[in-house]
Amino acid sequence: MGVEILQDEVLGVEYTDCFTLSLKNTAEQLQTEALILATGSKNITLNLPGLIELEGKGISYCAVCDGFFFRKKNVAVLGNGAYALHEAAYLKQLAGSVTILTNGQSGDAAKAAGFKVNTSVLQAIEGNGKLSSIRFTDGSTLAVDGLFIALGTADSTDMARKLGAELNGRFIRIDGDGATNIPGLFAASDCTGGLMQVAKAVHEGARAGLTALSFCANIRQTKTAINNQNFYKNTEGVIIMALEITTANFEQEVTNSTQTVLVDFWASWCGPCRMQAPILEAFAQEHSDIKITKCNVDDNPELAEKFAIMSIPSLLVFKSGKLVKSAVGLHDKEALAALVK
């Protein structure tokens, strides 16, 4: 039937112009226009005080997405498998130090790979509006600027989160055809929630497969339609807004503005940021009363630090020059409308 079956462990997934998957035992990366997440739901859960409150404020689930914000800082990776080692290896290129937290497990593989390892059991995540330390049940603490969660293997929710897909708790939010809010990304089976039964998984898988095939058949037409819209692009071909915010013009365009201003903190290497760009452009065309702007974190690190940007895309809303709302992750037009209210 022309179907290739590859048995391997997916360690990471990124999006630029297509989905790119990194595998554990295969050196060559896989690229695809459409991706169906159907690896079930991971039963590993953490009920740590501070975990939810500090997500996006030092706690991350994506080293590739957020590692940039922890350059030369002290970070930790929570996990003890190939997935955790993959995340730690990436962070090692950026951070000042990387410690792997095994939460009571041996950590032999991490030690063999040359990482610092802490085998103590976690008790709480601490920080006042920003992660500052991790407390363990033995009474010890570890001061860190960032904590990256990489438990077990990378399941569907982990990958969806990295790509900016909308979640409903620990499940992936889909429409009636199995599509997420990310073009070309679909999900099926236990990772979408609801009844954990084989019949449901088979039905959702077949439905998502048919929708993905239809998406692939129309991908060229879709890309042509997107490229023909009146988007502004920089020299790298990345879609941007007409007004870019910099350290030099922030006061004039944001602080002194009488309009409601939405600032999108982004970077060209961020897949979800690239997906957010055309949505923002379409939203701007429908809401002329809102000033839609973008701030490149690579070019304006001072602004990113000033507003404690630790994950992108980050959307900040200013009214009368004052920050009134903020949100992290990919937003559709309806979510943007609710954000700027």
Catalytic residues: 270, 273
Neighbours of 337 (CB within 10 A): 14
Q: Residue 169 to residues 65, 128, 166: CA-CA distances in angstroms?
A: 20, 24, 9
CB 340 within 8 A of CB 262: yes
Instruction: Tell me whether residue 322 is exposed, middle or buried, using C-beta atoms within 10 angstroms of its C-beta: 0 to 12, 13 to 18, 19 or more.
Output: exposed
SS (H, E, C) 137-175: CCCCEEECCEEEECCCCCCHHHHHHHHCCCEECCEECCC
Amino acid identity for residue 305 in this structure: E
Q: How far is CA 249 from CA 222, 290, 293, in A?
A: 35, 18, 11
Using CB atoms within 10 A of its CB, is residue 130 exposed (0-12), middle (13-18) or buried (19+)? exposed
Residues 150, 274: Cα–Cα separation, whole Å: 24
Angle, CA 52 vertex, CA 270 and CA 131 arms, to 5°:
75
Cα(341)–Cα(325) distance, integer angstroms: 10
Q: What residues does 135 pair with on adjacent strands?
A: 124, 141
Q: Give CA angle at 37 (36, 39), nearest 5°.
A: 135
Distances (CA, A) of 193 to 42, 154, 170, 171, 216: 12, 17, 8, 5, 26
